[in-house]
Amino acid sequence: DAGVTQSPTHLIKTRGQQVTLRCSPKSGHDTVSWYQQALGQGPQFIFQYYEEEERQRGNFPDRFSGHQFPNYSSELNVNALLLGDSALYLCASSLVGPSTEAFFGQGTRLTVV
């Protein structure tokens, strides 16, 4: 079982550009959540996808958007990048239902210059 895999591991973008981060969930999982972790902070919830639809959304602007594919993999898109978007982006997968254990990938380190 490969667990949760994220790509790329590191990324450097210029302010104003757009970026797409990718996540493949743990085998058997159907729900994907994205978190932003700024340096020295705890993760902040961005949004969650289930059945290809956004189920929940945190306090992030519309520049942050996502998608879930039929195979449950997911993408996080960020438009018009700002310096403040520099962070570690974590993907977590889980099964819908009362069992709430989330499994995390190693994250994508995004640096905006």
Partner 1 sequence: AQTVTQSQPEMSVQEAETVTLSCTYDTSESDYYLFWYKQPPSRQMILVIRQEAYKQQNATENRFSVNFQKAAKSFSLKISDSQLGDAAMYFCAYNAGNNRKLIWGLGTSLAVNP
Binding of residue 49 to partner 1 (CB under 8 A) = no
The tokens of 22 are what?
């990718």
Closest to partner 1 by CB, 14 or 59: 59
Binding of residue 42 to partner 1 (CB under 8 A) = yes
Rounded alpha-carbon distances, angstroms, from residue 70 to 1, 53, 89, 96:
19, 11, 22, 15
For the beta carbon of residue 104, count every other beta carbon within 10 angstroms. 17
Closest to partner 1 by CB, 75 or 88: 88
Binding of residue 25 to partner 1 (CB under 8 A) = no
Exactly one of 7, 13, 58, 67 binds partner 1 (CB under 8 A); that residue is 58
Q: Find the part of the chain contacting partner 1 (CB under 8 A) among 13-21, 28-36, 63-71, 73-81.
A: 28-36
Exactly one of 41, 52, 61, 113 binds partner 1 (CB under 8 A); that residue is 41
Sheet holding 19-24, edge to edge: 5-7, 19-24, 74-78, 64-68
Cis bond upstream, residue 8 (ω within 30): yes
**Distance between CA 91 and CA 70 in Å, rounded?**
17
Binding residues for partner 1, rule: CB under 8 A, are: 31, 33, 35, 40-45, 48, 50, 55-56, 58, 88, 90, 92, 94-98, 100-107, 109
